[in-house]
Amino acid sequence: MVSRIHQMSDEEQTGVNLIAKAVCRFEDGEETTYYVSDLTLFEITFISLRPPPIYSIFTTTLWPKGLTALPPLRVRVVAAYVDPKDASKSGFKAVIVDPSEVTGKLLEKALFQLNLIKGNPQKKSRFERRRDPRIETELPVEVETPGGRHTARIVNMSISGAFIQFATRDSPRTLYPKDEILLHLPDGETTEPITLKVQVIHLQIAEDRIGIGVRFVGLSPLVAHRLEGMILQMLANLAPKEFKNWS
């Protein structure tokens, strides 16, 4: 398919800073066009008076303002909101699901061209360093190391990794990058915790706490599904109360 350049009309740009046009194809075959008011490496904000249900998945092709179309992106709706006084503030947010490295780099290049991220696009891609969107949290976790079990908390996480903080009084005495350990996460949906094998990527040592960045390794499809569900529930909980059950 030949990519054309989409130039937004003055009418389309009136009243709100539109970043892209989005042609969206839903799993039932329906095709809808939205406009995008915010765009990052991991998340898209669409303008819509009738957002799709939360957790729904669809494919979108973005036409950034003044640029060629990006490859199709698979996204999942994680929040929706309606402003009865200003239609341009009504819409929904969707996270980008498992994009390829090539697509991620093209998206990053477009963000540079739109001045939505700063820096040198010739440097190593941010997308290579962190492909999945992370969410801030205060999730308690039990960390199992060769030296024993330790109580800690996850301060941010994604489907591919997490950052964990220990109080100094309950931190592992010997832990190094490339070490493999186990995490036991509480799952609010069941009484059985989610057990994850992780590899330590880096350590942060401060006077009153120790932190480790980890990546998940060897996730089974079932564990990956449970982990994704947990993260999506956290995202949904960040929405205003009146929209948490909105669809």
Q: Which domain holds residue 44?
A: 10-131
Question: Regarding beta strands 43-47 and 91-96, do their DSSP bridges make them parallel or antiparallel, or are they unpaired?
Answer: antiparallel
Q: Are residues 139 and 76 in the same domain?
A: no
Q: Are residues 112 and 141 in the same domain?
A: no
Q: Residue 16 has what pLDDT?
A: 64
Do 80 and 92 touch, CB atoms closer than 8 A?
yes
pLDDT band (50, 70, 90) for residue 45 = very high
Looking at the predicted structure, is the pLDDT value of residue 40 above 50? yes
Q: Are residues 124 and 162 in the same domain?
A: no
* H/E run at residue 46: strand 43-47
Flag whether 84 is in a domain: yes
Q: Residue 231 has what pLDDT?
A: 78
Give me the half-sphere count of Cα atoms (radius 13 Å) on the Cβ side of residue 246: 21
Mean pLDDT in residue range 210-227: 85
Q: Are residues 144 and 115 in the same domain?
A: no
Which range has the worst mean pLDDT, 1-10, 106-115, 212-221? 1-10
Q: Are residues 231 and 164 in the same domain?
A: yes
Distance CA 207, CA 168 (A): 8
Q: Are residues 105 and 215 in the same domain?
A: no
**Domains contained in the chain, number:** 2
Flag whether 3 is in a domain: no
Q: How would DSSP label each residue in 225-247?
A: HHHHHHHHHHHHHTS-GGGTT--
pLDDT band (50, 70, 90) for residue 128 = very low
Among residues 131, 150, 178, the one where a domain terminates is 131
Widest Cα–Cα separation across the chain: 64
Q: Are residues 166 and 113 in the same domain?
A: no
Q: Residue 134 has what pLDDT?
A: 73
pLDDT band (50, 70, 90) for residue 247 = very low
Place of tokens 């698979």: 74
Q: Are residues 50 and 77 in the same domain?
A: yes
The first and second tokens of residue 18, run together, are 């539109």
Q: Are residues 72 and 145 in the same domain?
A: no
Closest CA to 4 of 26, 23, 30: 23
> pTM higher than 0.85, yes or no?
no
Q: Is 152 exposed, middle or buried (0-12, 13-18, 19+ CB in 10 A)?
A: buried
Closest CA to 22 of 95, 57, 72, 97: 72
The first and second tokens of residue 2, run together, are 């030949």
Among residues 131, 158, 184, the one where a domain terminates is 131
Looking at the predicted structure, is the pLDDT value of residue 60 above 90? yes
168 by DSSP, 3-state: which?
helix
Tell me the average pLDDT of the chain.
78
Do 46 and 92 touch, CB atoms closer than 8 A?
yes
Q: Residue 101 has what pLDDT?
A: 76
Q: Are residues 82 and 141 in the same domain?
A: no
Find the CATH number of the domain harbouring 159: 2.40.10.220
Flag whether 188 is in a domain: yes
Q: Residue 208 has what pLDDT?
A: 67
Distance CA 244, CA 2 (A): 40
Q: Are residues 147 and 231 in the same domain?
A: yes
pLDDT band (50, 70, 90) for residue 50 = confident
